[in-house]
Chains A and B, each alone.
Chain A
Amino acid sequence: MIDRSPSSLVKAVSRQLQDVMDPELTFLSVTDMGILRDVKFENGHIVCVITPTYSGCPATEVISEDVLKAAREIDPDAEVEVVLSPAWTTDWISLEAREKMTANGIAPPEGSSHDKAFLTGDGHTIPCPICKSKETKLISPFGSTPCKASFTCNACLEPFEHFKCF
């Protein structure tokens, strides 16, 4: 018999959602990314609160569906709520997730999003995630997804992506 008390449901769903991955960074979970903001019990069912990274990021819709599907395996009445405030920031990405990014060839966000210079990469060094050289160059402040910028490493000559500080 499954324990249906609100607190155990919240715990079970939270555990379940640790396996829901970001569809564009498949080695990171939505929890790692700070996209999953809360799991709560309201009006007799589970509500999973998520927040989009960028306003137009198409991954948000997929994430919302994946979270709903995973949560409903525990509570068939679970719902997903999308909130915009407070606005998502890369400051919420866990340290562990940043290490996973580097291991997967993506330079993680550097510093705090409150420092506006970081936003545009002005005067800041983004080390190469592959050879660790600091001799890197911004190719474009935009990249393959809204959250990334394109760099190249002058030492190992590999192109790489940098997760924008946002």
Chain B
Amino acid sequence: MHALLRLGDDALVLAQRLGEWCGHAPALEEDIALTNIALDLIGQTQSYLTLAGSLDPDAPKTDDELAFLRSESEFKNLLLVEQSNGHFGDTIARQFLFDQYALLRAEHLAQQTFDLDAAAIAAKAVKEIRYHAAHSSKWIIRLGDGTSESHSRIQKSIDDLWAFTGEMFAADDVDIAGSIAGLLPDLSALKTQWDVEIDRVLVEATLIRPKDGAMKTGGRTGVHTEELGTMLAEMQILPRTHPGASW
């Protein structure tokens, strides 16, 4: 269940962040792109959280209950995806770093046979994330290899978010047990693949890969940055104020 919550929460929190761009993106096409990506992520969230909520037959929960009625410390998403949108470059940098990780993770999940329901969700997600990753990579290249202004700003975005990348590959008990069972990928192997893809895009974008320093972690165990609480307050206010409300 923890593994599925992590998958669902990564998608949900990032989707909510991307949804905040609706009506605010620098161009109409990009407004549509970011919210379309958010929509795919919400679809993935519904699937993962529905599955996660069905695993305990004594206390079954719906996807909505898990999304709207859990508190901050019960969310298991990466700190990276909860970081606020910043400017467009910050959002694209966050997306790029996450997409490459999410794609590799979903590719593994789609292939494994330990949990066929999760494999079915991931097989759909792979196609969607591949499209997202192509989009965010192209933006990294366009901004990095663009003007001196766009270059320096996207470099700073990547530098600022780099401290959140270590958490993606910091294996804990859930990851190790999941990896032994076959459900989850081996995170050290995943890191090697991620490095290759990140480096390929950064080189083409004429950007410098930041040095690995102290990494920020905690999201996987529910210890979040201050960013998540305010985001959840907005996301959850309606179902919490009007329990059971429907359209």
A interface residues with partner B (beta carbon < 8 Å): 52, 54-58, 83-88, 113, 116, 119-120, 139-144, 146, 150, 164, 166
Contacts and interface: CB of A to CB of B under 8 A. Distances in A.
B29 A55 contact: no
B131 interface: yes
Contact of B127 (A58, A143, A166): A166
26 contacts: A54-B39, A54-B40, A54-B128, A55-B44, A55-B46, A55-B121, A55-B124, A55-B125, A56-B40, A56-B42, A56-B43, A57-B39, A84-B123, A84-B124, A87-B120, A87-B124, A119-B127, A119-B131, A140-B30, A140-B32, A142-B33, A142-B36, A143-B36, A146-B36, A164-B131, A166-B131
Interface in B18-48: 29-30, 32-33, 36-37, 39-44, 46-47
Contact of B121 (A84, A113, A144, A146): A84
Contacts of B124: 52, 54-55, 84, 87-88
A142 B131 CA distance: 10
A57 B127 contact: no
Interface string B65-91: 000000000000000000000000000
B176 interface: no
B55 interface: no
Nearest to A56: B43
A85 B119 contact: yes
Interface of B: 29-30, 32-33, 36-37, 39-44, 46-47, 116, 119-121, 123-125, 127-128, 130-131, 134-135
Contacts of A140: 29-30, 32-33
Contacts, number: 77
A40 B127 CA distance: 29
B180 to A, nearest CB: 24
A147 to B, nearest CB: 10
A12 B214 CA distance: 65
Nearest to A164: B131
Contacts of A139: 29
A140 B135 CA distance: 9
A143 B28 CA distance: 10
A144 B32 CA distance: 7
Interface residues of B: mostly helix, strand, loop or mixed?
helix
A144 B46 CA distance: 22
A141 B134 contact: yes
B7 to A, nearest CB: 12
A46 B120 CA distance: 24
A56 B32 contact: no
Nearest to A55: B43
A150 B43 contact: no
A52 B47 CA distance: 11
Contacts of A143: 32, 36
A55 B145 CA distance: 33
Contacts of B33: 140-142
Contacts of B127: 87, 113, 119, 166
A149 to B, nearest CB: 10
